[in-house]
Structure 1
């Protein structure tokens, strides 16, 4: 299944990638060659991607495994995903639980926050395409586009060198992913505690929610993660329809005058961090694009997911703020007065959070396995997978440790909105704004036109400035919360 909808608007603002669509994929890039070799299928006459359109053969497009025999190298058998599967995962990442904090961003940023919701959607879509473009080189003789890099770290290694890149980018990615998992558990605990007002302490609800994500330790491919992300999208649509419908019923009492045209310089950087954090999907992009059965659909998928995200986030944040105005909480469901209605929404939000958890967790586990568990002599530890393609028992135990780690930190976590702004200002701006443009300039300098170079520099400076200011004010807000005993 492919995306066939028109993308003229996006192509006007991103013309460079329109030109790249005429460059064919190589017949066998690094990913396919690696998959064939690891699965013992080099001599089985598997066809390579079609040079004319980038399609994989029929067996790939069906989403089944490349071969029926287990992996002889102790690696999981690769499954390819469709553009829709990739779209569910991106939607999960950028339309996630952090939607409930966006009205809180309008509280401190007014109309500027609404503008930045659209601006961030356009910029992160653009930088996401830049990042994926860095995975490819063009053969000077054939003009074919060859995938010579596989991960975000591979791109950084090309620019910074192996040792420096591994430390910096691995650390930033892991912090981003683990903090995202922590925030999901924090939000689940908060929502359950506010829904069922019993003698159960907040920590107990967080622990209970953690049990539901323990099966994530068994995840070994993106196909299963995509199905969970689809369920998350369904829950997201239900929540949007219910809350926006409630806001429309309060139209007579909308507080139009409460939305500021001015920027509160003290609080706005935290709001900007929240906005940026809600669009951080770049960690997943290389893996998703490399796992797609038809990579030509990647650009279209990015256009539609980010365009829809920008519109619905702005609409949701604006209407919710018009209803509650200055009383808007950092989690919007705390403003609901009807206990029955609030409980209904909170339950769906908990379901959505639990279904959102697998994607960042899977990416974090993949980072750890690439760094430490590919097998000797590549890494210091053996592979987590046995020769039959299944996980070792000890590997399941190790995969459970990050979940327990997120639980421990979630129990002692500070305010949801402030922490979200802190992480967004730090790792979010680096991974989604600064580094993709920086890396693209270094790798593609000689084939990038001057006006795109200027645009890249502007995004780098904007991201660095916003990130630095947001980081300072978020730390100040955390220290104030600690001083007041709220942490």
Structure 2
């Protein structure tokens, strides 16, 4: 879904936005590798590497202790739940564009979209989530082909001169947040590496996926911006001509967003259950599951409340791209840039060369600076947008 906002990042950052897309792919590839390296310890006598940790939180616990590691746990939850909110915000925006004459407001359409995701409360395992994600992947390919195909048919009118070299310092940090958010896969990497049949291929897998992702994202963003120029909107499908064509693509995007919602929602619910609902005395509250493996009625109710919580925030957060920039600037920079380098330095200090130590520090400092600036500007943009909505009302 984040591809939709990448042309907007090029609008604000010009060629530097494209450089940022490629650079973010390279940096997150590196930080993904060093994060997984923190899962292993080398036996000093045999020289054999053993996997002694299983998750991002386990790594944080080794460095910060069990209580401080909850910071990572909280950041993971925030990123997942904000991603759910993001999908609902997008659904509301797209449906209001699909049916402009219906008389329904964006808030009403967001509520309608939530009606279709509340049943996610009944999800019990990843098999059902995987089936929904398969539909999401199919819709993703179809939408990208349609958008790229349309852009290529207008190659004769591309706005080459509008791709600028200078950077809009007020908006580019927000764009950086969008770029970073499109690469935030680090919370899943330890589990992914642990589930691989041949773990020695992890680095190769990460190299190809991040390399191809960076290349495709840069091309998609560049081609779409060339097609629409400075008229590029924060969701690129809003630039498509004719109400019928735009409505068809937007409706397909709504389906994709609804099929994307279950994965972060399920992961967020699972994080809450592991933290608070594993049964006494292990956690504060009893288990969400009965002895027969079914969800308790009260647990099902709490899951529904979680979905309604995402709806509440989606209603009061007005802009898709600004929200994505805020999330990327906060949790994205921490989870994908700062913390992997920090943990790697603490755990592998005596095992890595000095040049790598310097590189880790540079990534940490750069990520922190971009994150802080992006948070401030994204939050300011959201406040301004919220005030604008109130003024219009």
Q: In structure 2, what is the Cα distance between the partners aligned to 1:292 and 1:225? A: 19
Matched-pair contact (CA < 8 Å) for 1:414–1:486? no
Higher helix share: 2
Offset from partner CA, 1:202-238 (integer Å, 9 cap, x none): 2221112112222322333334333333322221111
> In terms of mean alpha carbon deviation, does 285-294 or 465-474 score higher?
285-294
| Counterpart secondary structure, 1:137 | strand
> In terms of mean alpha carbon deviation, does 145-154 or 257-266 score higher?
145-154
Matched-pair contact (CA < 8 Å) for 1:101–1:417? yes
Matched-pair contact (CA < 8 Å) for 2:95–2:109? yes
Q: TM-score, normalised by structure 1?
A: 0.76
Tell me by how many angstroms 1:140 deviates. Answer: 3.1
| Counterpart secondary structure, 1:162 | coil
Q: CA RMSD in A?
A: 1.8
Cα 1:264–1:372 shift into 2, 3 Å: same
Q: In structure 2, what is the Cα distance between the partners aligned to 1:292 and 1:463? A: 29
Cα 1:104–1:445 shift into 2, 3 Å: same
Residue 355 of structure 2 corresponds to which residue in structure 1?
451
Match of 1:345 among 249, 253, 259: 249
Spell out the pairing of 1:378-393 with structure 2 (5 A cutoff).
Answer: 378-393=282-297
Residue 7 of structure 2 corresponds to which residue in structure 1?
103
Higher relative contact order (CA 8 A, sep 6+): 2
Matched-pair contact (CA < 8 Å) for 2:89–2:319? no
Q: In structure 1, what is the Cα distance between the partners aligned to 2:120 and 2:41? A: 35
Q: In structure 1, what is the Cα distance between the partners aligned to 2:204 and 2:182? A: 20
Tell me by how many angstroms 1:243 deviates. Answer: 0.4
Structure 1 residue runs of 4 or more that deviate by more than 4 Å after TM superposition: none
Tell me by how many angstroms 1:485 deviates. Answer: 3.2
Q: In structure 2, what is the Cα distance between the partners aligned to 1:150 and 1:373? A: 21
Offset from partner CA, 1:358-417 (integer Å, 9 cap, x none): 221122112111211122211111222233333333222222221110011111112111
Match of 2:137 among 222, 233, 246: 233
Residue 87 of structure 2 corresponds to which residue in structure 1?
184
Q: In structure 1, what is the Cα distance between the partners aligned to 2:168 and 2:275? A: 43
Offset from partner CA, 1:455-480 (integer Å, 9 cap, x none): 21111111011111212222222232
Matched-pair contact (CA < 8 Å) for 2:317–2:386? no
Match of 1:169 among 55, 67, 72: 72
Tell me by how many angstroms 1:294 deviates. Answer: 4.2
Q: In structure 2, what is the Cα distance between the partners aligned to 1:295 and 1:439? A: 21
Q: In structure 2, what is the Cα distance between the partners aligned to 1:400 and 1:288? A: 28
Tell me by how many angstroms 1:486 deviates. Answer: 6.2
Matched-pair contact (CA < 8 Å) for 2:21–2:214? yes
Tell me by how many angstroms 1:142 deviates. Answer: 4.1
Cα 1:302–1:414 shift into 2, 3 Å: same
Cα 1:482–1:350 shift into 2, 3 Å: closer
The answer to whether 1:469 aligns with 2:373 is yes
The answer to whether 1:415 aligns with 2:319 is yes
Tell me by how many angstroms 1:250 deviates. Answer: 0.7
Offset from partner CA, 1:279-308 (integer Å, 9 cap, x none): 111122223333444434433332222222
Match of 1:213 among 102, 117, 129: 117
Cα 1:150–1:220 shift into 2, 3 Å: farther
Offset from partner CA, 1:110-155 (integer Å, 9 cap, x none): 0000111111111112212222222222333444433322222221
Cα 1:229–1:452 shift into 2, 3 Å: farther
Q: In structure 1, what is the Cα distance between the partners aligned to 2:12 and 2:210? A: 24
| Counterpart secondary structure, 2:69 | helix
Match of 2:20 among 116, 139, 146: 116
Residue 156 of structure 1 corresponds to which residue in structure 2?
60
Q: In structure 1, what is the Cα distance between the partners aligned to 2:273 and 2:79? A: 17
| Counterpart secondary structure, 1:304 | helix
Matched-pair contact (CA < 8 Å) for 1:284–1:363? no
Q: In structure 1, what is the Cα distance between the partners aligned to 2:67 and 2:232? A: 46
The answer to whether 1:136 aligns with 2:40 is yes
Q: In structure 2, what is the Cα distance between the partners aligned to 1:474 and 1:324? A: 24
Tell me by how many angstroms 1:103 deviates. Answer: 0.8
Tell me by how many angstroms 1:318 deviates. Answer: 0.6
Q: TM-score, normalised by structure 2?
A: 0.94
Match of 1:404 among 308, 311, 320: 308
The answer to whether 1:357 aligns with 2:261 is yes
Tell me by how many angstroms 1:322 deviates. Answer: 0.7
| Counterpart secondary structure, 1:140 | coil
Matched-pair contact (CA < 8 Å) for 2:174–2:374? yes
The answer to whether 1:242 aligns with 2:146 is yes
Report the count of equivalent residues: 390
